[in-house]
Structure 1
Amino acid sequence: MLFRFFILNFCNFWILNQCLMVFCSSSSKLDSDSIQLSLDAETIINMFNTIRQQDGWKETLYGCRFDEDTFHFRNDQHFMLEINNDNHLKQLRLLLNIIILRYTENLKVFRYLMNSFIQLCFQYRKSRDPKFIYCSTKLQETVKISTKMFLKFYYVTNFLYNINNYLHDHGQLYHNSTILDYMGTFYRGTLRKKLDIHNMFDANSVLIICRNFIYDRIDKKIPPEHSISNDLRIYSYDYSVQNHIQRLVNMKKVLFSEDVDDHTKVLNWFYMLAVRDSYYNLGFNKVLVGDIKEHIHEYIAENTRYHENQEDDNFDCTEEPPVLTHRLE
């Protein structure tokens, strides 16, 4: 996901106040005080034995750096071993690293797609094109839709945060939990009250808020690639979300399209792919059930502007990639 931005000189007290009202939740808590789940070794082993057997691990290669120029790739047989009392600490740490890596890659794709959308709106704003209002309106709608994705991610990372603590308590020091600490911040950032856009001033306010969401919440908190783990650096996954998106758009371009609707299509498709890849295909719908999910749900509902509609899995898109009208090659 990754991506450079644009600093805007225009900003006054009203806009800053809107930023606080719209993108900040009623709670200032970070995920570092996430709910502590009661998980024993047997429960954790059973849950991760379910996770490791899911289809989302198929045809996956992970790169391990030996030096500046050399990578050794391991396929899934190295981390799909059955987990037991003798190997569970080692295997849990490996799986946790890989899951965090996959989530980080999805966040980087999200960041790129949103940056492209924001940059397009800035271009309309600069030329005072009437399409600027339309662009900001669709941008706001698209960010709001992402709430459904980030809620799923928040469930997972709340759970993984507890696994990280379990490893730490058993002598497996693990210091690269940045994405676990901040997923709640990303989720809260999407829980904005919708602003009615009637004119260029309103559209500009929304654009600044969305830009700040990406710049202040996403960009500054995605862990750099070198900090994901001590040895894992990259992964190659033929059916990964990133590869799906790269087949559709040129992620080397600042803009992947000059069309607003193309951006909404790709982002909505991305949300579906990301939830499928990082939630269902890894089996979290099978392990985050019963009391465990209920405890996490209660914490989220108490500390955010959670609404049950955010549980909806309908992202208004299909399995097939959308057809784009103004894609840039």
Structure 2
Amino acid sequence: MKIPTFADIEAAASRLRPYIAHTPLLRNPVLDRRLGARLLIKAECLQLTGSFKVRGAFNRLLIMSESERKAGVVAWSAGNHGQALAYAGQCLGVAVTVVMPSDAPRAKISGTERWGAKVVLYDRLTESREQIGQDLALQNGLVIVPPFDDPDVIAGQGTAFLEAIRDAQVVGETPTMLLCGTGGGGLIAGCALSAEGSGMDIRMHAVEPVGYDDMGRSLAAGRLVSNNPAAASICDALMTIKPGEIPFEINKRLLGPGYTVSDDEIREAMRVALQDLKLVVEPGGAAALALALSRPELVRGQTAVIMVTGGNLDLPTLASIAAPIPDSFEVKR
């Protein structure tokens, strides 16, 4: 098992510079006063293709040999990794096939196709996306690019937090906490390596939907545990069955306990992001903000980086979220 290093993340940051956006680190004094904290909102929902996933996808393709690129790649994805890989493939001339759940948001399926990828749909309750992807790779000579359980993908994702740390320092802020929505664990693993390599003492916590807290339960158990794939959640991007093996090796050493958020707390965070931060955020992308809003005692007194990881959602979902927030809105205490 190859574990990425801080040097890999620094190299990825240099490699990716021509290909990705430098996303902003946002502040909102109103939220800070409500929570008694200093929130640094890392707006990866404004990243190219609408999520942090483009970092890992590009890094993986850029590291590949020319013969591997010519062969083409296959991936499995709830949507954001697929879109990111499709875009990176279009930019670099690599043919991309993506295995996606048939119930994924239409915006994610059409977005992946729009960037030129071939999409293969599957039933998440009766079929294995990994098996389908592996079969396609074997039949067609494709290179597999996993969404999170890959050292080069993790190194690419880690550049998001490295960017945030350096931007915070420019404005005189020193992060003391990171909250990060977590599916397979690749992003928060990369973030943890960035913090460790930067010599910073930062409390790091995975945030997951109720019913899909495999990372939190795995950390508590000291071993990989799985979710029930039939569990319901609005966070399609975070509905992984179990953590990746490589991310877990990193996370069990560097993370604090995990936390969960409910669908209602996610919806409230999406509304707050829309009204107060002027950000369109998908459900999974709002998990970290949902925890800060619903559990203010966790962030009180902290300078907390909140990873807003994605903004890809269907318009009807956005419309259902965009109900007015009462002027008397108060954060729970």
Q: TM-score, normalised by structure 1?
A: 0.28
Point out the structure with the larger helix share: 1
Larger-gyration structure (1/2): 1
Q: TM-score, normalised by structure 2?
A: 0.28
The structure showing larger relative contact order (alpha-carbon pairs under 8 Å, at least 6 residues apart) is: 1
Point out the structure with the larger strand share: 2
